[in-house]
Amino acid sequence: MKKQINIIAFLIIITASVLHAQVKFEEGTYQQMLDKAKSENKILMVDFFTDWCKWCVELDLKVYSDPEVAAFANKNFISYKIDAEKGEGPGLKEKFQVPGYPTIVFLRADGSEIDRIVGYFPVQKFFRIMKDYNAGINTNDYLISKLKENPDDIISNYYMGDKLIDLEKKEEAKPYFQEITEIDKENKSGYLDDAVLYLAYIEGDIDGLKSFSEKFPESDWIKDSYLFLAELYYAKNKDYTDAEKTFQAAFVKFGKDDSETGYAYGQFLLTRIYGISSDKEASEELLNAGLALCDNCLTYVMGSINEASVYFYQATLNNILGNKKKANEAIDKALLIHNRKTFRDLKEKINSK
């Protein structure tokens, strides 16, 4: 009995530590953080954020709270948050040419940049990049050096292309993926399918994405080919019908509960809802269709920052329809998740005479 109690106590301790895992962000000035990084011989990880950035909130909720990410960051980095619109923020934003939020810049103790992460990445990719930068590999300078030594280095070509894709520099990424398709036609490296998929995505090649699973039936990128195809349909071609069909085919193939497909589908539904809510000539029927889409979208975004976005759109649509009570209920839910100015402004608008 005593042994069983000890095991239960141990499990409670482990569970509590997991639930409270969090990256520790230091307080102080930027210079104090550089000094601390130097004294502890660590990399300085600087997170540029704003109080209106929803993906910054998601980074806190989903990534910095991950036990592995938190443990690794707390051991290897001095972590520091900078509000880009307050105090030292505007000057440092300009110094590092921060393009958007969140942007996480990894610095040496002398203030020189190792590399950066721009935008929100899910836990697995964020953690991989953190470990790479800490080890001094797959940074921009590292890849440039490797490719200078050997332009045919397939892995370096892939990671450079992947980095440029993440930075929304698709055309700049193309030559690196094209290099892989030219020097490894038999896919001996295992990166040919990756390169072919990215090229089809960059070029908007719908037929290439459709036929990807037939060309590479063993690829672990087949799911991505469905999601890239759906994105091309609705983001580039404004084709919501074929996008919907593609998502439904993905759910059939990978399961209704597949988290990656569900996440992407939630983004698609939000795009549709936004279009309806911003349409000044939308009919009552269309506005109600938008509310139905909100209900569906909640299934896929519950527990993420996008849940607040759905409530915001519910409030917007109900306010247009004249249902002040439901509009207030929805915007209050949004504010509980993210108390941002846009939401507060809508709350005031709903209740103004």
Per residue of the chain (353 residues), what is the pLDDT tens digit?
444 444 444 444 434 444 457 999 999 999 999 999 999 999 999 999 999 999 999 999 999 999 999 999 999 999 999 999 999 999 999 999 999 999 999 999 999 999 999 999 999 999 999 999 999 999 999 999 999 999 999 999 999 999 999 999 999 999 999 999 999 999 999 999 999 999 999 999 999 999 999 999 999 999 999 999 999 999 989 999 999 999 999 999 999 999 999 999 999 999 999 999 999 999 999 999 999 999 999 999 999 999 999 999 999 999 999 999 999 999 999 999 999 999 999 999 999 86
Q: How far apart are CA 276 and CA 22, in angstroms?
A: 38
Spatial CA neighbour of 82 closest among 54, 113, 107, 103:
103
Spatial CA neighbour of 197 closest among 175, 185, 181:
181
Same domain? 264 vs 250: no
Q: What is the CATH number of the domain that holds 333?
A: 1.25.40
Same domain? 100 vs 188: no
Q: Taking phi first (over 0 means left), then psi (-120 to 50 degrees means alpha), and beta for anything else, what does residue 324 get?
A: alpha
Q: Which residues are bridge partners to 105 per DSSP? A: 46, 116
Find out whether 312 and 270 touch, Cβ atoms under 8 Å.
no
Last residue of a domain, one of 84, 112, 135: 135
Last residue of a domain, one of 135, 157, 177: 135
Same domain? 239 vs 348: no
Same domain? 349 vs 282: yes
**How high is the pLDDT of residue 20?**
56
Same domain? 99 vs 131: yes
Q: How far apart are CA 149 and CA 147, in angstroms?
A: 5
Same domain? 126 vs 13: yes
Q: How far apart are CA 214 and CA 174, in angstroms?
A: 23
Q: What is the CATH number of the domain that holds 100?
A: 3.40.30.10
Same domain? 35 vs 111: yes
* Residue 337 exposed, middle or buried by CB count within 10 Å (0-12, 13-18, 19+): buried
**How high is the pLDDT of residue 18?**
41
Same domain? 9 vs 106: yes
Find out whether 82 and 90 touch, Cβ atoms under 8 Å.
no
Same domain? 220 vs 199: no
Same domain? 191 vs 312: no
Find out whether 262 and 304 touch, Cβ atoms under 8 Å.
no
How many CB atoms within 10 Å of residue 181?
14
Same domain? 240 vs 310: no
Q: Count of domains in the chain?
A: 4
Q: Cis (ω within 30 of 0) for the bond into 102?
A: yes
Residue 22 CA to chain centroid, in angstroms? 18
Last residue of a domain, one of 135, 157, 179: 135
Same domain? 14 vs 51: yes
**How high is the pLDDT of residue 21?**
77
- For residue 252 the two structure tokens come to 């059939």
Domain, as residue range, for 318? 259-353
**How high is the pLDDT of residue 14?**
38
